[in-house]
Amino acid sequence: MCVALPGRVVEIEGTTAVVDFQGNRVRAEAGLVCVKPGDSVLVHAGCILQVLSEEEGKQLTELFEELEEAAGEGNN
């Protein structure tokens, strides 16, 4: 299964964006959608697929944090 992850655009360099995923910064292709620094986005396979509203970005980030915690509890 493939999952797109929520992140926040930190900067734009041409058609490449630096996206912050809870402290981890990666480069992602930004040529598919119009983005600007500060935007919440969904990234899959190194490409920004969608710009999210502030609320959507917050909700998805919280959901992934909960999933990570639940997965960690299952490994104990």
The enclosing domain of 16 has a CATH number of 2.30.30.140
Cβ atoms within 10 Å of 24's Cβ, excluding its own: 8
Rounded distance, CA 17 to CA 34, Å? Answer: 11
Q: Would you state the pLDDT for residue 3?
A: 82
In a domain, 76, yes or no: no
In a domain, 34, yes or no: yes
Which residues are 76's β-sheet partners? none
Query: Is residue 33 a contact partner of residue 25, using CB atoms and an 8 Å limit?
Result: no
Q: Which of 52, 51, 48 is nearest to 17 (CA)?
A: 48
In a domain, 75, yes or no: no
Q: What is the domain extent for residue 36?
A: 5-70
Which residues are 25's β-sheet partners? 20
Q: Would you state the pLDDT for residue 39?
A: 96
Domains: count for the chain? 1
Q: Would you state the pLDDT for residue 74?
A: 67
Q: What is the pTM of this model?
A: 0.83
In a domain, 41, yes or no: yes
Rounded distance, CA 53 to CA 46, Å? Answer: 20
What is the block-wise mean pLDDT of the chain (76 residues), using blocks of 10 residues? Answer: 87 96 94 95 96 92 89 74
